[in-house]
Amino acid sequence: MSKESARAWLESALADLKSIEYIKDDDFLTHMVAFHAQQCVEKCFKAMLEYAGQRVPKEHSTLKLYGLVKNELPADFEIDMLTDLDDLYIESRYPGDLGLLPHGKPTKDDSREFFEFAQYVFDTVKKHIQ
């Protein structure tokens, strides 16, 4: 197990959380909040894999990564939220649909929920690793 690598993943996840804090109140950037929330959660799950001494796959799906670490975590995370973040991850980076949920572009309320979820995952993983 590599605690140093796990901490490096968490530090990178923290950068995504701090990015969200700067943009979360901007209506124009709600899709980017989703992107950074997805990145934070992905990196937290990869930190768990490192901590458990497992190989970290070149995988971006939070759902798939969650499946690999679920038994290591002291909490369950909302599958629907992971699904939304995965769906928005690709779309938030490219022009066109720009990170659309079934009801359209994420709202500020959606952004707040993404941020709170990412913060909860981060806090849970950080506490478990430390």
The DSSP code sequence of 70-91 is GGG-SS---HHHHHHHHHHHHH
In sequence order, the 6+-apart residues with CB closer than 8 A to the CB of 8 are: none
In this prediction, residues 38-51 reach a mean pLDDT of 96
Q: Report pLDDT digits (tens) over 57-111.
A: 999 999 999 999 999 888 889 999 999 888 877 655 555 544 455 556 788 998 9
* Residue 9 pLDDT exceeds 80: yes
The CATH number linked to 11 is: 1.20.120.330
Report the pLDDT value the prediction gives residue 88, as an integer from 0 to 100: 79
Computed over every residue of the chain, the mean pLDDT equals: 88
State which residues form the domain around 50.
3-129
How many domains does the chain contain in total?
A: 1
Is the pTM above the cut of 0.85? yes
Q: Is the Cβ–Cβ distance between 20 and 33 less than 8 Å?
A: yes
* Buried/exposed 16-36: b ≥16 CB within 10 Å, e otherwise: bbebbeeebeeeebbbbbbbb
Distance CA 58, CA 27 (A): 32
Q: How many residues does the chain have?
A: 130
